[in-house]
Amino acid sequence: MTKISISELIERIVMYDDQQAFKIIYQHYFIRLFRLSFSIVKLKELAEEITNDALVMLWNKRSRLPAIDNLDLYLYTCIKNDSIAKLNKEQAKYTTDISTAAGEMLKITLDPEKLMISAEMMKQLTEAIASLPPRCRLIFKLIKEDGMKYKEVAALLDLSVKTVEAQLTIAVRKILAATQLQTNTPKLKIKSWG
């Protein structure tokens, strides 16, 4: 679909509330936006919901469409931001409280010294990840927790692969430094994560 035809469709939507024109735009963008969302959230139903919500929002705010210079960029940014927000919200539901995890470990392990070290290390690790700068934390999460490839993260965040690698290296070094400063464990060597 050419830019001219998209602009014509937008004009029909804005001027005449043309639902047929919106249907064409919806069908044109849905699969592309769904794929982006799915690459972030990894759940089909959630990606469909995010994509539908973004496109419905586009219809609901149709009077503002002429102010959008690049509809592709606008929609991709909405999907990326909404997907990351939903992913964080979904993962928060399944995050285990460290005190709960420590309680479960007490039932399994009888050695109090090992228990204390394990719970303390988990707490330090969680705090170290939370203290990372936002972009570092996001890249670490996408690669290490979500299993995305460097190229996928680079494309999603509009960064070079080298920048993603550098940010991940910074994240890993800060996490190791934060966890090792507070313990008497020997320094660990940073291995390649790629």
Give the domain ranges of the chain.
3-93, 98-181
The token pair at 180 is 């090792």
The pLDDT of 38-64, averaged and rounded, is: 93
| Average pLDDT along the chain | 80
Instruction: Taking residues 36-43, report their average pLDDT.
Output: 88
**What is the structure's pLDDT at 175?**
84
The answer to whether 36 and 30 are in contact (CB under 8 A) is no
Q: Give the fold, CATH level 3, of 98-181.
A: Arc Repressor Mutant, subunit A (1.10.10)
Q: Which two tokens stand for residue 67?
A: 């102010």
| Model confidence at 69: pLDDT above 90 | no
pLDDT at 111 over 80: no
> What is the average pLDDT across 102-120?
56
- CA Rg value for the chain: 22
Instruction: Assign 121 a pLDDT band (cuts: 50, 70, 90).
Output: confident
CA distance 170 to 114: 29
Report the top-level CATH class of 3-93.
Answer: mainly alpha
**Cβ count near 118 (within 10 Å):** 15
Residue written as tokens 């982006």? 36
